[in-house]
Chain A
């Protein structure tokens, strides 16, 4: 077995460690601690954060890629041959990958969705619903569901007990009572409820996925649940990494335009006016198409299809980042203009403090609320943008699982009679929950961090 790092994996784990580092740094500042406390006082924010955490968890699970050594073939090579790259998520859902059906089947179905023409042993041609190959026929689904719920409950309660124990310095019993009454500073009761619900849901889906196709199968018999889960990584990556690319550009250009003024301001303003007057889709389409041509001309760059689609994803992220910094940049420029006229900046100048220090110490901290708010808002916008772009055909690689691709395929399925609804439905629900949670959290962040709300 060998770990293999894709480009996006490096970025995801790098970002995670940077975030953890900053979180650790921020946890030492009383003011920031207080602010986060205020954000999570709202039970909606708490629940949203937990949902986002689950999405992040699946992303990370899907971002550890390994290759296994194949059985050395007896014939020629001494070189060790490796299998395709798979992620941890693939390993967990290995049974789903192998158990592809022939074609469409509805969620929890035992037979295919459409009739097939078969010739039986007597030579009679019949039309009938064929049974699915990979479902266990004698599954006691009720009994199994019960077991799944119990296991989920056990796992979640174990986590929660550990957490309560860790939090309660004095008196475990007392703390437990406070939580049950909802008398804690942060809404832990809601948080625990949410965790129990999500873990039970996950175990239930997972346990039943051995016996059924929980969310049905698509045209070529692929499991929709597995596709939806794989799509999480694509969506979250586009949301997070694009912001990451966009942020430094927006901050650097916005702050310098606002602070230095003069020709610097002019150049930056012309740049973003030009960029934002070109339709975004046009730029993205042009970028993606030229990338496709480049990939097509150099097939030797990639060992596997996964690496190829990964690079295409990265490229899409890059283009999205380049086209989406203008809005934030404009906001930051205006705010910097305002702040740089404030008297505390003048005072710093009178002390002979350097320009970079002024930016770092006086301007950026006072822009933080805008940055944070727009990052969270942009995140949901970008997740939706991926879906739209893939639907149009200039999004991620067609072989890559993404909600956009799922919706794109579902386009024709909707026109069938009877309608095949589950592919679209799953993609929609998974995306909707992610975007809703991100929006709810950002609402709360906005309310708490915006100084104008502090009267």
Chain B
């Protein structure tokens, strides 16, 4: 096989700072080449450099990219335009923002064909419809006239793939194509990509942070960190014997310890939810009449024992976060009871609820919006303690407690006087945890606390959560979409679909012997590492 694209000694700089440090790789005809790395490692920059779409502030300081023996950096812009889209196509991470919302999807695909192939109108339409068929979009003739907002995330990504394939490119660059999608949808899209790749003998540059997806898709893998390629190998060799210590740790973090957690057996139930229903009214018209209800949570029952973790698993829109908010009394509960140590929280007034606010706390998903950018870390942690009267009014003793909390989550006491923007995502998540711990809760609702984090940081946060549980015996309600982390953290698991729990039980029984077809499908869809 001859090489289709080769990147030679490519270095990128911005204002004297090196972003890429002379990287080398080549992609052969009909090969899936995966570029793996955590955020900020330079993998997306590499793909932009190939397309010559780099922002103007970034300059190429050395190196060359050869596509079919043409040096891309030497081509004039009009020739490059022909290569973009026609020979090299790209799929982006966010299908929502990559499609133009005011054009029908058919027109958007047709536009590309018109520019590059110059077909007649009827031929173009035929071609678009055959492409829609190829990417397995249902009713392709009818969907031609649909707008992007009428499609689901997975369908939009299929349209993006159709646009990319429209001009029969030789190389497809897929930049995290499935990161924004649910597991079951991701599995379908990946399967589709693989099928098309084999059928058309296409080369794919697959950029991702997810090791399991790599294992499923790639022929060869390169690992990037801080703008360098650390290791490059054939896929099977890569997973069986990784060479570089960073790769080894990445793989280890991605896999999670499979050994059973040490189960603490403490008697007594902390929280009991029975027949919980949360229905949001849909309001329309001039006087905001209620015309119907969205049944976000529709009759859910579960309980969390003291010192244990219940994982609530489900795809986006399944109502799992709403359950968290309902337990915190942040959304009105339509029906059912939430009992905390035999006290029903549903009908308590705001004042009577205050003692329970102290016992149930929450850690959020997005470390960037979870902290007020205008407050110092100290004030952020102090707010809850003061509001719920956990500490004395003496500022010095508050500060002492804050520094102790910061040390507990493995930050430094002096961070107290800084502002959130000075911290990384993982550090912010630690601050969020410290804020929840400040009021000494007995139950912490963790709403996807790790889904916005890199793999290695995710492992650290999970480890921290576990350590805190062992030290203080706090219970967790762990809301997640990621089945792979469930065995590491949870004792029990409940699987949600469309507002209902379809299956619950101990982690072993659900993960190893799922009964409900949806659970089976979820488990099957989750990409796995080959070990």
Contact = CB atoms under 8 A, between A and B. Distances in A.
B383 A361 contact: yes
Contacts of B419: 31
Residue of A342, A343, A346 with highest tally of chain B CB at under 10 A: A343
A344 B372 contact: yes
B345 interface: no
A366 B373 contact: yes
A263 to B, nearest CB: 8
A347 B362 contact: yes
Contacts of A263: 288
Interface stretch (B20-28, B196-204, B350-358, B490-498): B350-358
B374 A347 contact: no
Given A351-B388, A351-B439, A344 B361 contact: no
A342 to B, nearest CB: 5
Contacts of A15: none
Interface in B314-369: 325, 328, 330, 350, 353-354, 357, 360-362, 364-366, 369
A348 interface: yes
Interface string B409-452: 00000000001010000000000100100010000000000000
A240 B357 CA distance: 45
Main secondary structure of the interface of A (DSSP, over half): helix
B371 interface: yes
Counting contact residues on chain A (CB < 8 A from B), the size range is 20 to 34
A346 B362 contact: yes
B190 to A, nearest CB: 31
B350 A31 contact: no
A171 interface: no
B375 interface: yes
B362 A352 contact: no
A163 interface: no
Contacts of B354: 352
Given A266-B288, A351-B383, A352-B388, A344 B357 contact: no
A2 interface: no
B384 interface: yes
Contacts of B432: 347
Contacts of A126: none
A351 B372 contact: no
Interface residues of B, number: 31
A370 B419 CA distance: 20
Contact of A343 (B328, B353, B364, B388): B364
A349 B330 contact: yes
A347 B384 CA distance: 9
B402 to A, nearest CB: 15
Interface string A300-312: 0000000000000
Interface string A333-371: 000000000111011111111000100011001101000
Contacts of A361: 372, 375, 383
A342 B366 CA distance: 9
A342 B432 CA distance: 14
Given A266-B288, A347-B364, A352 B353 contact: yes
Nearest to A266: B288
30 contacts: A31-B419, A266-B288, A342-B369, A342-B370, A343-B364, A343-B366, A343-B369, A343-B370, A344-B371, A344-B380, A346-B325, A347-B362, A347-B432, A348-B387, A349-B330, A350-B328, A350-B357, A351-B357, A351-B383, A351-B384, A352-B354, A352-B388, A353-B383, A353-B384, A353-B387, A361-B383, A366-B373, A368-B374, A451-B373, A454-B421
Interface of B: 288, 325, 328, 330, 350, 353-354, 357, 360-362, 364-366, 369-375, 380, 383-384, 387-388, 419, 421, 432, 435, 439
CB-CB nearest 3 A-B residue pairs: A351-B384, A365-B374, A343-B364
Interface of A: 31, 263, 266, 342-344, 346-353, 357, 361-362, 365-366, 368, 451, 454
